[in-house]
Amino acid sequence: MANQYATAFWVSAPGKGELRQTPLQLSDIEAPVEVKAHYSGISRGTESLVFNGCVPASEHARMRAPFQEGDFPAPVKYGYSSVGEVVAGPAALKGKKVFCLHPHQDRYVVPASAVHELPTNIPLERAVLTANMETALNGIWDAKPLPGERISVIGAGVVGALMAYLCQRVIGTDVQLVDIDPKRQTLAEALDIPFALPGDAHPDQDLVIHASGQSEGLNTALSLAGVEGRIIEISWYGEGNVPVSLGGAFHSQRLTLRASQVGRLPTDQQPRWDFERRLMLALRLLSDPALDALISGESDFADLPHVAADIFASGSGVLCHRIRY
């Protein structure tokens, strides 16, 4: 195996990608397993910032992904949602379908502890949403939606839609998914979540979750929160300043604005939860076939360098784009 090579996708320069040969390394890996990738997933949030070279220098260390190679801004091998089959390794894992936080690559060798067996009722095609579901789940823990609350989720991307989906499963909640794109209503209907354009969104909300990645969306969130309302910021903006209007109701209504980030477990979850347990829950939460609506397209791995710019273009409308190996 040490002399074998795999093919990986690299961001070769901001806005450009290419496929490169990479050796399958066994050195310094305890209990190695070799995985043959079947699919990987691309969602436009963090990976768009990486592809376009917009990771701030202050975040270069914190934003490193598991098994990343290279450094920001480029060249860098990045990604965190791979699904495949164990083709070599311990007998208990060989032949198992697994999820791994790994960049886009057709085969790879990782420690056995880095792969997570898929539940039998989760198809590989849907399992590429696992990392997104983890982010949404962590955000729900930070938001703490309560029974009967009025909740708005701003931004009908993958994570926003998943958070609305999870909030709606809290008994008695009144959830609305808000987006500037009227075509997102089709997604909301597939998930059985009420939809609104910003101008028609419900005011006086108990909880508002912002996931659009745009400052206008955050200002909409501030405007929809009621007295003592909670606003959870799930977006990550990368470089640049984010203008936020704090001169209106923010103080008079005593609003709370809090960030949520998947890289840390909420403090009150830490005594009982770790990243492994959270990931396994995220996998179990993908059992609903309705979540297939979050996959907006699929491409062959060989075509990824040619379609990446379109996937990550502003206004592309891509949700989760699935790569087929």
260-300 confidence digits (pLDDT tens):
999 999 999 999 999 999 999 999 999 999 999 999 999 99
Q: What is the pLDDT of residue 29?
A: 80
194 contact partners, CB below 8 Å, separation of at least 6: 175, 176, 177, 188
> Is the pLDDT reported for residue 241 higher than 90?
no
pLDDT, tens digit, 9 for 90 and up, residues 57-116:
999 998 999 999 999 999 999 999 999 999 999 999 999 999 999 999 999 999 999 999
What phi, psi does 95 have (nearest 5°)? Answer: 85, -5
Distance in angstroms (rounded) separating the CA atoms of residues 188 and 164: 9
Query: What is the length of the chain?
Result: 325
Residue 30 has pLDDT above 90, yes or no: no
| pLDDT for the residue 3 | 53
123, 126, 157, 86: which is closest to 298 by C-alpha? Answer: 126
Q: What is the CA radius of gyration of the chain?
A: 20
Helices of type H across the chain = 46-51, 124-127, 130-143, 158-167, 184-190, 215-224, 249-252, 275-284, 304-311
**CB of 231 closer than 8 Å to CB of 211:** no
Phi then psi for 219, rounded to 5 degrees?
-65, -35
Peptide bond just before 14 cis, omega within 30 deg: no
The CATH number of domain 5-129+288-324, selected from 3.10.20.30, 3.90.180.10, 3.30.1280.10, 3.30.2010.10: 3.90.180.10
In this structure, which topology does domain 132-268 adopt according to CATH? Rossmann fold (3.40.50)
Question: Has this prediction a pTM greater than 0.85?
Answer: yes
Mean pLDDT of the chain, nearest integer: 95
In the predicted model, what is the mean pLDDT of residues 135-150? 98
For the chain, give every domain's residue range: 5-129+288-324, 132-268
